[in-house]
Structure 1
């Protein structure tokens, strides 16, 4: 079932998308693969919120190769659980948003190429009963991803759009146009 109605709007506005739940994302990068940086596309439409996150695996795990040791496998499992839970994303409680769907790609291709750039591609969809209260978004991903230093955000909400650069010191963006 394709529930991502916002993706065509993002594409029209020039905002990169990384996949859909109906079409699982592959390891191909839509943006530059830069360690320490990630991209987030965030869109609202009526009561639905959709976000698309793309990041080099190294930002989350400290390595890009497929997990080999028990410790690496445990770290990947922990990262998957965190990403898919959406706990790293804080939406205003008054918006009453519930996570409805999540899709996380398998970042390591089936090829044995040791130089493969592995990217995490995640899609989350929320349903919000009070979307008018959705005025700002906070990312707590920096606390969990020691090698992540910057997240470039592009957002669309109603008839407004904007962009923000988030860091450990600036982890929030507002869903209003920049003045």
Structure 2
């Protein structure tokens, strides 16, 4: 599946996480339920975020929604993913300035923006969801730690491979429901 990313996010991730994102792409292609990838680029008071996850982790199924309950589950997940900071400071200071939710299937709830992509799930029946956010986080330069509430909202996410780049360098960590914070190393 191919999606177009905002130029700034691509530039930051390409420069800072080139080797790491290659590994992330290969790992996501393995498509393991319970596993997701989180890439974070920090600059000033801004954070660009890319979350890649099997659809099953976020909505509990991997096909276009078929029932009213599945449509409601997708609508609720998309609303949360668009309006909630995927990473935040311990004092919850970050707010989404931009947020895009892309699914592997053509669905009225996804953010397709008329790019004409083929979003059908792959031949193995696996579907993915990608979330791209730009966050504004006042006082970010004084913060040494970020956290995510993904585990609380989406119990299907059991492990999160987090990678980040900032002016101070790059690093990564494996997060889980009991370990949802990571040190930036500033």
Q: Same fold (TM over 0.5)?
A: yes
Unaligned stretches of 5+ in structure 1? 18-27
Gaps of 5+ in 2: 107-118
The match for 1:154 among 136, 140, 163 is 163
User: How many residues are paired up?
Assistant: 165
Q: Using the alignment, how far apart are the partners of 2:94 and 2:121 within structure 1?
A: 41
Query: How much has 1:60 moved relative to structure 2?
Result: 1.3
CA distance in 2, matches of 1:81, 1:99: 12
- Structure 2 length normalisation: TM-score? 0.77
Change (3 A) 1:68 1:3: closer
Which stretch has the larger CA shift, 164-173 or 143-152?
A: 143-152
Deviations 1:50-79 (A, max 9, x none): 110000000112211111000011001111
Contact 2:63 2:121 in 1 (8 A): no
Cα distance change of structure 1 residues 131 and 62 upon mapping to structure 2, 3 Å threshold: same
Query: RMSD across aligned C-alpha pairs, in angstroms?
Result: 2.7
CA distance in 2, matches of 1:46, 1:106: 30
What is residue 31 of structure 1 aligned with on the other side? 28
**1:172 and 1:11, CA in 2 relative to 1: closer, same or farther beyond 3 A?**
same
SS of the equivalent of 2:37 reads strand
Q: Is the 8 A contact 2:88 2:94 kept in 1?
A: no
Equivalent pair of 1:36/1:59 in contact (CA under 8 Å): yes
| Equivalent residue number for residue 44 of structure 2 | 46
TM-score between both structures, scaled by the size of structure 1 = 0.79
- For 2:121 and 2:60, how far apart are their aligned partners in 1? 20
Structure 1 segments of 4+ aligned residues over 6 angstroms from their partners: none
Give the structure with the larger helix fraction. 2
For the residues of structure 2 that align with 1:50 and 1:112, how far apart are their CA atoms?
Answer: 26
